A and B are shown apart, each in its own frame.
Chain A
Amino acid sequence: MAVRKEYIEDLEKLKEEVLRMGELAKESAKNAITALVQRDTELASKILKENAIIDDLEFDIENRCMKLLALQQPMAVDLRTIGTCMKIITDFDRISDLAGDIAEIVRRIGHEPHVKPLIDIPRMSEIAQGMIADCLKAFSSQDIKILEDFSERDDVIDALFDQVRRELITITIERPRGIANAGHLLFVALHLERIGDHACNIASRIIYMVTGEKRKLG
């Protein structure tokens, strides 16, 4: 007879739900930039609707964690896993909220043309998505080697944000009429920079879950 069968099944289910939430947050972040690039307000509305699913998942996962803590007295790697789940769902929720904020911006921009071709913003998004995807892989496989370069990746996102910011300031000086769109894009870049930070938080928690060592990334 397997020892603590139900407990182990509950832990596995918890991890599955966290992965599901992470996947949804990653998709939201990806779709938000697709919607921005294509000025697709329908896709933006869809992101905003899906945010509610992620919010519900956060409560559900938190309840699962509390139940395991209260009833099973988890120890060692199990304790670290539950602690990690409770922390990273907040980051996933924040990522989806930021994706929602970008979607809101897309709806405000509507079909107006952007003040500049979007090159660095999609690059920032691609790097951030890659980081979230690697977090999910590491969470599932316990292979934390793919998280080692997160600080460097975050530095690239920060540098791109700085570049976008400078470029947008120059544009608004040259073409004050584009100030509204430039302001929107600046917020989008800022949100992507924050998504990178959340990915670093998640990676740092996963390293703790696997090794027991606390390490700051980003």
Chain B
Amino acid sequence: MSKIETRSLNVYYDGGTVHALKGVNIKIEANKITALIGPSGCGKTTFLRALNRMNELNGVKTRGKVLMDGVDIYSRKVDVIQLRKRIGMVFQQPNPFPMSIFDNVAYGPRIHGLRNRKLERIIEESLKKAALWEEVKDRLEESALKLSGGQQQRLCIARALAVNPEVLLFDEPCSALDPVSTARIEALLRELKNDYTIVIVTHNMQQAARVSDFTAFFLMGELIEFGETMQIFEKPRDKRTEDYITGRFG
């Protein structure tokens, strides 16, 4: 069953002069990991940011539909704050707030009015789900900035999980991490897909091949090919996909 569906999704930058996404139609399956791949500037991050209306923050024009559970998220009736609670996002560089580990994870739930024991329970659950609890349970009051890069990224995932989202968007979550931290995040993604729908932008094709169930290849704003990851990496249908994933693109 598809969790998110885009229909003729078009995105324009710079007052309409740059056509960044050209009529993208895609169905993103619930409880699966969908990887978005393609060369720099192909529109994959723009696409990711269109899924929780992050592009709006930069004065970008969006046309077409993005349906989540059948409801257009660009409809005027949709509350953007609520929408971003349902669709969490984790960025390329770990970006913990300059506060304690506890307060980082508590930030979202507190905004939504949670306090005391309920809040503590959510923080523990979120840190456990992000596979960080064992490493930080005795130092929750320490600054999050003292954590390693990989731990900071898992903290950001815990922070995203704390508001109980349905979808998680990852924008190159491992590009700033070493191979061991990357492997931990990848293992975590596979765990998380049981409870969440995951979309991940990655430049690392091996990562896309390792973790995702579906892969979408973008080129110059167009969705060139979308299919099961094994099919895309073993026998892509489109010559452009093949040229890109075999590295003959240039």
Contacts and interface: CB of A to CB of B under 8 A. Distances in A.
A75 B248 contact: no
Contact of A4 (B235, B236, B241, B247): B247
B205 interface: yes
A212 B241 CA distance: 15
B203 to A, nearest CB: 13
Given A73-B206, A75-B205, A77-B242, A7 B247 contact: yes
Q: Which has the most chain B C-beta neighbours within 10 Å: A3, A7, A76, A80?
A: A76
B116 to A, nearest CB: 50
A3 B248 contact: yes
A212 B235 contact: yes
A79 interface: yes
Contacts of B236: 76
Interface of B: 205-206, 209, 233-236, 241-242, 245-250
A86 to B, nearest CB: 15
A163 B24 CA distance: 63
B234 A80 contact: yes
Contacts of A27: none
A75 B249 CA distance: 13
Interface string A182-218: 0000000000000000000000000000011100000
Interface string A66-81: 0000000111111110
Contacts of B248: 3-4, 8
B97 to A, nearest CB: 37
Given A3-B250, A4-B247, A73 B205 contact: yes
A79 B246 CA distance: 9
Contact of B235 (A3, A8, A73, A76): A76
Interface string A1-37: 1111001100000000000000000000000000000
B206 A76 contact: no
Contacts of B246: 74-78
